[in-house]
Structure 1
């Protein structure tokens, strides 16, 4: 078994190359969750999603993140209401976040939910969040610590 520490677009690309030479079921990717965020009431795991979508060949190749052929109706509606749109979430991507949030609310762990999502995309690579605990990237400024 090969264990890869992964975080985001670069790691997703590395894993795509690795599965070309190593059977996917022999790969375990421990994926960054320090960039996870609660937004619009949804638990968003951007690095887990980027790795999942990329390994499935479902990612947006222009941006490196999100899903190919994504639509943006929900974000358009949010913008028209004056809501925050700094973090773009496509309509199908929202489905992933809604599923994750619902399962976590039911008491499932992030590793369990990640496995369910990976399975739905037909992945052979085992994806694990780096932790089940909430963590945050912090930046120390002269004014004090701020979430980043």
Structure 2
């Protein structure tokens, strides 16, 4: 990505096109973060044909093990305004694939935020799993706390708790 950015800023349009073509063809789908960064670059540069080719490869074969990488790829697909690609990637169940313990609570929160933004039905499952292993920031479920199953507790007041105890 740095080379593409440098070529772009140097005004080397032909070199950018040539190198971007090679990157799209040769980038490993194990480098999901790099794929997301490349999709973002192609979007910003208006290289829609190259982007479409890369997105096609990514939604079918990108590695979905790393929280930060999946987040970057999803953000790039959102930036590209490609809802179909987002839906196809979500059908591969990235929520079930990511290793929550290999990322910080903030990175898990960022993935959760992007999953909610794209309307992923498994977003709350990710939140529950992350909370259960202590891998989400705690502020999200304050002030009412969590139910024993890890879901957010309904709002309550101290007066309600006292009244329940009187029965």
Q: TM-score, normalised by structure 2?
A: 0.27
More helix by proportion, 1 or 2? 2
Q: TM-score, normalised by structure 1?
A: 0.29
More strand by proportion, 1 or 2? 1
The higher-RCO structure (CA 8 Å, 6+ apart) is: 1
